[in-house]
Amino acid sequence: MTTTSAPSTPHAGNRPGRRALLGIGAQNLSLIGALAVVVAVFGSLDSNFLSPDNLQGIGEAATIAGLLAVVQTVVIICGGLDISVGSQAGLASVVSAMAFTSTGSSAPLGVGAALLVGALVGLLNGAVIIYGRVNPTIATLAGLAAYKGVAQLISNGRAQGYVRNDALFIFLSRGRIAGLPTMIWILVLVAVAVHVLLKYTDIGRNIYAIGGNDTAARLAGINLNKYLVSAYVLSGLVAALAGILLTARTGSGQPVSGSEGLELQSITAAALGGCSLKGGKGGVGGTLLAVALLGALQNGMTGQGINTFWQNVAQGLLLVTAVVIQQRRNRDRAVGLPA
């Protein structure tokens, strides 16, 4: 007896649409959905919300927090945390302006001095964590206070210098390339570079391995100390770049104003974007989507005249929500409850 087999159909997993959805990821799809809802709500409440000028303003405002969120992603994937990035940006902002004015208005020297300070601060964070055997949260929490204090000491707590008559700082703050502001291009370039580093290089694979299981990574011959210190140096450099952009945008070095709260924004964006705070998971794409979501939410709430205190509450709730979702997704045991 012969049987006739039914014509074969492509496996559901091979369908282009399904493959595209799997490539985007459930986390990113949820962020895209949330962003669409936020845009729809505030777009209906305010006719100017979706105007090109306002959208550009959202992008520019999110640039500094976005830079810090991208580099925070690297640190978290590596199994660390950097709570001091906002203070680092404030210190770099002051140094860039003070170096600019003290060297006869030399913008390259101001930028170079800020980047050098950022690298040194990142190196200090990494050294305290690795060689001092201090928990990253405690070490960078100390850095949050210390670097803010240094910035206030060297500036007497006041804005320093004036850079708005310099061509380089003007280009950084108000310049355009192919119709887009320079600041947004800088964020895009940094994000693409970090994405390529994480996804397509051995360095990136080792970073994920360290965050996923540091014992296995060490047994595999990966130098954990070198990678962790390098991650914090990178964090310091990008935080310094954010500080330079802060100086260019405000026209002077800002020891606190403009940089306070950036650490919370960067951690919130990384967590919302899918980074596991235990390390080993995350990516730049999700982080950027979260930065866009936070930027749109903040801009929309400001446009509606909502008190900034409530904006801080909303940001805190988003961070807690992101961590709860991670805990549920990973099926981690709740603290104090039986397994």
φ and ψ at 253, to 5 degrees? -75, 130
The answer, yes or no, to whether residue 133 has pLDDT greater than 90, is yes
Per-residue pLDDT, averaged over 104-109, amounts to: 90
Per-residue pLDDT, averaged over 147-161, amounts to: 92
Per-residue pLDDT, averaged over 49-62, amounts to: 88
Task: Quote the percentage of the chain above a pLDDT of 70.
Answer: 88
Residue 334: per-residue pLDDT = 58
Instruction: Give me the domain span that covers residue 273.
Output: 60-320
Residue 335 domain flag: no
Residue 224 domain flag: yes
Residue with more model confidence, 328 or 127: 127
Q: How confident is the model at residue 331 (pLDDT cuts 50, 70, 90)?
A: low
Beta strands 180-181 and 176-177, pairing class: antiparallel
Residue 139: per-residue pLDDT = 95
Residue 283 domain flag: yes
Whole-number Å distance between alpha carbons of 195 and 287: 11
Residue 12: per-residue pLDDT = 46
Residue 171 domain flag: yes
297 token code pair: 């939410």
Domain count of the fold of the chain: 1
Q: Which residues of 275-313 are buried (b: 16+ CB within 10 A; e: fewer)?
A: bbbebbbbbbbbbbbbbbbbbbbbbbbeeeeeeeeeeee
CA dist list (Å): 246 to 38, 63, 136, 250, 255: 27, 10, 26, 6, 10
Residue 304: per-residue pLDDT = 87
The answer, yes or no, to whether residue 27 has pLDDT greater than 90, is no
Report angle CA 123, 276, 91 to the nearest 5 degrees: 30
Q: Across the chain, what does the average pLDDT equal?
A: 87
Contacts of 177 (CB under 8 A, 6+ apart): 185
The answer, yes or no, to whether residue 2 has pLDDT greater than 50, is no
Q: Which residues of 207-228 are buried (b: 16+ CB within 10 A; e: fewer)?
A: bbbbbbebeebeeeebebeebb
Whole-number Å distance between alpha carbons of 71 and 28: 18
The answer, yes or no, to whether residue 3 has pLDDT greater than 50, is no
Residue 131 domain flag: yes
Instruction: List the CATH number of the domain containing 93.
Output: 1.10.3470
Contact present, 186 and 66 (Cβ < 8 Å):
no
